[in-house]
Amino acid sequence: MSQTKTIRLLILNDSRAEAERLISMLHNAGRPVRAQHVENDEALNKLLQEKVWDLMVGLDTTTNLKPLDAIRIIRRLNKDVPLILQTNDETIRGTVDGLKLGAVDVVKVDEDQHLLFVIQREFNNREDRDRRRVAERRYNEIERRNQQLLDSSRDAIAFVQDGMFLYTNDSFVELLDYDSRDDLECMPVIDITKDRDQDKVKRFLKDFMLKGSDIESTKLEFSVITKDGAERPLAIEVRKSTFEEELCTQFLIRTSTADSQELEAQIQQIKSQDLATGLYNRGYLLDTLHLVVENAASGANNSALIHIGVDKFHEIVDGKLGIASADLVIGSIADFAKSQVKADDVLCRYNDNSFMLVIPNIDPETALARAKTLCQKLTSHIVDIDGTTLQFAYAIGISVVNETTADAETPIGQAVKAYELARAESSNNAEDKVRLYEPETREETKRDVSHSVQKALDEGRFKLLFQPILSLRGSDREHYEVLLRMIGEDGSEISPQEFLSAAAKIGATTKIDRWVILESIKLLSEHRKNSTNTHLIINLSRESVLDATLPPWIKVAFKAANLPPDALVFQLNEIDVNDHLNVAATFSEQVTKLGSSCSITRFGCALNPFNALQHVKASHIKIDGSFTQELQENTPEAVQALNELVSELHKLDKITIVPFVENASVLSKLWQSGVHYIQGYYLQGPAEEMNYDFDTES
C-alpha cells in the first residue's frame, strides 16, 4: 500500500480562506498536504519546535507575521524550511525584493500552475537535502568502520602520497619490524627501499600517479630493509585510492598463500559467469556499471549501456526445438554477439532472452551507430542447432552513462525503457529497432497515459485487489479495502495514482467507479456464501460524489444482487468533501438512507478537519498515512498528534482506521491510542482474493 508523500506545509497569509484554497489546489493537483495556517510569531516558534515542516508559502503583504520575520525565526531555530513567496507586484522588482529577503522563489498570486511547479521543485530539493544529510551520516559511519578494518586487517596496508607514507596499519608496521605506526608515517618510501631498487620504485610511483589505471591494480616487486637491517622482498598490489579525502597510492600485501589466491580467483570467475552462455552475469554487470558510473562522475569519458532483446524467443524456440533447447539457442546467439563486440566491451546476460553490453569511452552518436550495425548483424544471423535453423528479430535500447548518472540501476532502467520503445516499432528494418533513451516530457507522458486508460476501458483491462483491515478492539467484522489496478498491455499492474487523473480528464472516472462497485458487489455476494460478516470499503472519485444519479443507481445494484446495503462502505477523500461540502453532505445522507455508510479517507490534512464532520454523515474515518509515517520517527510530538486526533474522533463516535502499518514497531503506540482498525503491509498487501485469516489475529 502506498501513497504520494504528504507535504508538510506552513502557510503565511492573513486570509484563512486563501490558505484553504491553496490546500485544495494542491490536493486537486495530486499533491496531498498537511498544512498549518501561521497567524503570528509565537505560533510559528511553537510549530517549528514541535514538528518537522517541508515548506512555507507566504504572501509578501502579510501583516500578521511578515515574511522577513518568519525567515529570521526559521534561521534562528536552524530549520530547513524554504519560503516560497507570493506577490501581487507585476514588476521584476517584486521578484528581486523577495529573493533578497531570503525566499527560494517568488510567484505571482493566482499563477497556480507556476506555484505547483515551484512547490514540487522545492519539495524535491528538500528531500534531496534530507537524503544528503542521511548519506553524510552514513558516509561518516562507513569511514569510521573502514578505519577500524584498516587498523585491524591481517593484510599489510599502507597509503603513500608524494613518495611518503601517509598511513600504515599495524600489519604493515610488523612486516617491517618497526615498533609503531609513528615510526613509518611521513617517512619516504625510498628510505626503506634496498639501494638497487630505489630508482625502480621512484620511476614507478611517478609514472603510476600520472598514467596508472583508476580502476585496476598493478603489481610492484622490490626489496625493503627492515628496522633491524634485514632484507625482505615484497610483492605489492598498488592502486589509486583516497585516504582522508587525499588522493594517494595504496600498497597492499596479502597474507594469503598462492594456492588460496588461485582458488579465490576461480571462485570469483564462477560467481561472475553465466553458465548457459559463458558471458558475464547480472551481478558482474552491476559491479561494472558501478565503476563506469564513478568514472563518469569524476569527469572522465562517458560510456553507453546497450540492452539487446531477442523478440519472441521462447515462442520460436518452443515451436521448432522445444523449450529444453532454450539454453543451447541463447548460447549460440551469445557466441555470435561476443564475436561482434570489441575487447574493451563488457557483454553480459541480463535475463532469459536479453543481453546488456557496456561500451566504455563512447559518445551517444557513435553508440547509436554501433548499435544499429549490431542489430543488423544479429538479425541476419542464422542460429543452427543440430541442423535446425532459427532466425530472430532483435530490438536494442541505449542509455548514456555520464556525469549526471546517479547509480548503476539508472542506466539499466533507461536502456530497458528505450528497448521497449524500439520493440514497439512496427518497422521490420533493423535500424528502426534501435532507440537511444530520451526522457519523456510531461505532456508526452500525459498523452500516453490518457491513451492507455481509454484503451484499457475499451478492452476491459482492470482488476480489483483486496487489502484486509484488522480490528484492534476484537470486532468480529471482517473488512477489506477495494483497490483498483489497470492492467498494462504487457500484463503489468498500474496503480490508480498513475492513471486516475488522466481518466478524469477524459471523463472516465464515473464509469470506472461504477465498474468497481458492480464487480465488488458481485465478488462480495459470492464470498458471503461462506463468510457473512465481510464488508468492503470502496473508494469514490470526486466526479462520482458529484454525480447525483449514483445513489439511485447503487440502490438498484444492491437489489439486483440481493446484497444487504450495509456490506459496503463508500469512501470519500477529505479534500473532495471540503471542496464540495453541500454535495458531499447530500451524498452521505442518501447513501445512509440506503443502509450503507460513508468513510472519509486521508483525514487530518485540512486546516479544520472536524468542520466537515458537522455536515457529512461518515461512520468511518481513515486517518492520513502521514501520521503513521511520523510515528516511525518515534517522537513524542508524533504520538501526541495521533492520540489527540483519535481521541477527538472517538468523542464523535467515529470508527477510526490507521493505514500504512508497515512493521510491528508502531503497533504498541496504535494500541495505546485506542484506534479501532489498522491496515498495511505488516498484515498483508493487496491480494486478488479475500482470503486473509482474521481468526489468527484475534
> Which DSSP string corresponds to 258-288?
HHHHHHHHHHHHHHTB-TTTSSB-HHHHHHH
505 plus 639 within the same structural domain: yes
244 plus 279 within the same structural domain: no
pLDDT band at 440 (very low <50, low <70, confident <90, very high): low
CATH code for the domain in which residue 112 is found = 3.40.50.2300
Percentage of residues in the chain with pLDDT exceeding 90?
A: 61
Q: Which of 53-57, 207-211, 431-435, 505-509 has the lowest mean pLDDT?
A: 207-211
Report the SS3 class of residue 530.
coil
Average pLDDT over residues 98-122: 94
Q: What is the pLDDT of residue 427?
A: 76
Report the SS3 class of residue 186.
coil
95 near 87, Cβ under 8 Å? yes
Identify the CA nearest to 636 among candidates 672, 660, 604, 606.
672
Q: Which of 333-347, 431-445, 530-544, 682-696 has the lowest mean pLDDT?
A: 431-445
The grid coordinates listed for 348 are 553480459
What distances in angstroms separate CA 416 from CA 351, 355, 409, one per listed residue? Answer: 12, 11, 11
626 plus 498 within the same structural domain: yes
pLDDT at 342 over 50: yes
Alpha-carbon torsion angle 77, 83, 88, 94, nearest 10: 90
CATH code for the domain in which residue 233 is found = 3.30.450.20
Q: What is the pLDDT of residue 448?
A: 64
Identify the CA nearest to 473 among candidates 646, 660, 686.
646
pLDDT at 258 over 70: no
Average pLDDT over residues 40-61: 93
Average pLDDT over residues 546-560: 95
- How many folded domains does the chain comprise? 4
Q: Tell the burial category of 357 from Cβ atoms under 10 Å away from its Cβ (0-12, 13-18, 19+).
A: buried
Identify the CA nearest to 12 among candidates 89, 52, 70, 51.
70
530 plus 653 within the same structural domain: yes
CATH code for the domain in which residue 359 is found = 3.30.70.270
> Could you tell me if residue 80 is inside a domain?
yes
Alpha-carbon gap, residue 618 to 612, rounded angstroms:
10
> Could you tell me if residue 269 is inside a domain?
no
283 plus 167 within the same structural domain: no
281 plus 391 within the same structural domain: yes
> Could you tell me if residue 149 is inside a domain?
no
Last residue in a domain, options 220, 254, 288: 254
133: phi then psi, degrees, rounded to nearest 5: -65, -40
290 plus 426 within the same structural domain: yes
pLDDT at 456 over 60: yes
Query: End-to-end CA distance of the chain, in Å?
Result: 22
Q: What is the pLDDT of residue 247?
A: 86
pTM over 0.85: no
387 plus 291 within the same structural domain: yes
Average pLDDT over residues 410-438: 87
pLDDT band at 532 (very low <50, low <70, confident <90, very high): confident
CATH code for the domain in which residue 646 is found = 3.20.20.450
- For 460-508, where are the alpha helices, taking DSSP H only? 496-505
Residue with cell 625502480: 200
Alpha-carbon gap, residue 83 to 71, rounded angstroms:
8
Q: What is the pLDDT of residue 446?
A: 54
> Could you tell me if residue 122 is inside a domain?
yes
Buried b (16+ CB within 10 A) or exposed e, 86-117: bbebeeeebbebbeebbbbbbbeeeeeeebbe
Average pLDDT over residues 229-238: 92
547 plus 587 within the same structural domain: yes
pLDDT at 165 over 60: yes
525 plus 399 within the same structural domain: no
Where in the sequence is the domain holding 224, given as residue range(s)? Answer: 155-254
> Could you tell me if residue 138 is inside a domain?
no
Pairing label, strands 383-385, 346-351: unpaired
Identify the CA nearest to 221 among candidates 232, 207, 206, 208.
232
pLDDT at 300 over 70: no
pLDDT band at 550 (very low <50, low <70, confident <90, very high): very high
Q: What is the pLDDT of residue 381?
A: 94
474 plus 417 within the same structural domain: no
18 near 44, Cβ under 8 Å? no
> Could you tell me if residue 52 is inside a domain?
yes
Last residue in a domain, options 132, 164, 196: 132
Q: How many CB atoms lie within 10 A of CB 371?
A: 26
Report the SS3 class of residue 492.
coil
Average pLDDT over residues 542-549: 95
> Could you tell me if residue 526 is inside a domain?
yes
242 plus 199 within the same structural domain: yes
Q: What is the pLDDT of residue 1?
A: 39
> Could you tell me if residue 685 is inside a domain?
no
Who has greater pLDDT, 102 or 27?
A: 102
Q: Tell the burial category of 472 from Cβ atoms under 10 Å away from its Cβ (0-12, 13-18, 19+).
A: middle
pLDDT at 109 over 90: yes
Q: Please report which helix (H) or strand (E) contains residue 235, including its range.
A: strand 231-243
Q: What is the pLDDT of residue 2?
A: 42
| Sign of the torsion formed by the C-alpha atoms of 6, 7, 8 and 13 | negative
